[in-house]
Structure 1
């Protein structure tokens, strides 16, 4: 990338802006999510080809697609939290003084993180209920509870990250 493009990109960032690139962990999560997404796509393509050309669909393809989609979404939640790329609606924030942006971001980050942690707790409770009656998929008999626990752990990690990063930036901003 040329120096002119870099300087234009850096001008738009404030001292309270999130980092422009993902950490190694974020890249690993993104790559893993991409691999799962490609697996889901390949499974769907093979299922459609098998169904319409050979009149023989893949048994349990819809179950595997649902499981892969769930895993992609919750892995993506952690990667999005690390990159701080959540959907943001800033109808009023542009009119606020720049000096309160770090505190506002910290407050919204903590509230969003707490909401994600409550969601993680409820998913964990629900997964425990499913484990209690040995819930499994219909065709392939894949246990569902481990997926629920995985989703709960990812949501909890996403909540921690969502709360921590803006708080860290606000404290660093307050120091300066």
Structure 2
């Protein structure tokens, strides 16, 4: 029986699909908000000579939210940018080892990014940093990005430990 048809493999696939769907909906809502902010700003600026106050800051925060909210779904799909000039020809055990090592590198990198974002959040929190116009505190933003990176690292580690096959983007 292949791993995809075992109980663990089936549950992992179902969990992947559910988590991917939740992430897709949340990211979609954030993209709609970003589109709305841009639309209101442009219409206000060109038709009413009244741009949306703080639109550039909202845009920056929403773009960051889209990127970090989508990161766990990318990790579930092994959807990181890769160059497989040599690895495309690997089969069997060699391919399994290569996927495992690549996942472990991703875990380490996401762990480092998460740690640094958390530290950065602590520093800017201590300084009371906010956005310039809206006065939105930045420490919670950095901390949320850190948590999403840590979650993504945990997802990739789980994929590596369970030796799950590479996910497919079309599985939503």
Name the TM tier (shorter chain): 0.7 to 0.9
Aligned to 2:71: 77
Q: TM-score, normalised to structure 2's length?
A: 0.83
Aligned to 2:122: 128
Q: Distance in 2 between matches of 1:35 and 1:42?
A: 10
Q: Distance in 2 between matches of 1:21 and 1:148?
A: 27
Q: What do residues 51-74 of structure 1 show as CA deviations (whole Å, max 9, x unaligned)?
A: 011000011011111111101100
Aligned to 1:31: 25
Q: TM-score, normalised to structure 1's length?
A: 0.81
Displacement after TM superposition at 1:23 (Å): 2.0
* Matched residue SS, 1:141: coil
1:50-129 alignment, distance < 5 Å: 50-129=44-123
Q: Provide the aligned length of Structure 1 versus Structure 2.
A: 155
* Matched residue SS, 2:162: helix
* Matched residue SS, 1:137: coil
* Mapped pair 1:160 → 2:154: yes
Q: Which runs of 5+ in 2 are unaligned?
A: 1-8, 166-172
Aligned to 1:41: 35
Displacement after TM superposition at 1:22 (Å): 4.1
Change (3 A) 1:60 1:130: same
Q: Distance in 1 between matches of 2:85 and 2:155?
A: 25
Larger radius of gyration: 1
Displacement after TM superposition at 1:106 (Å): 0.8
Change (3 A) 1:170 1:101: farther
- Aligned Cα root-mean-square deviation (Å): 2.2
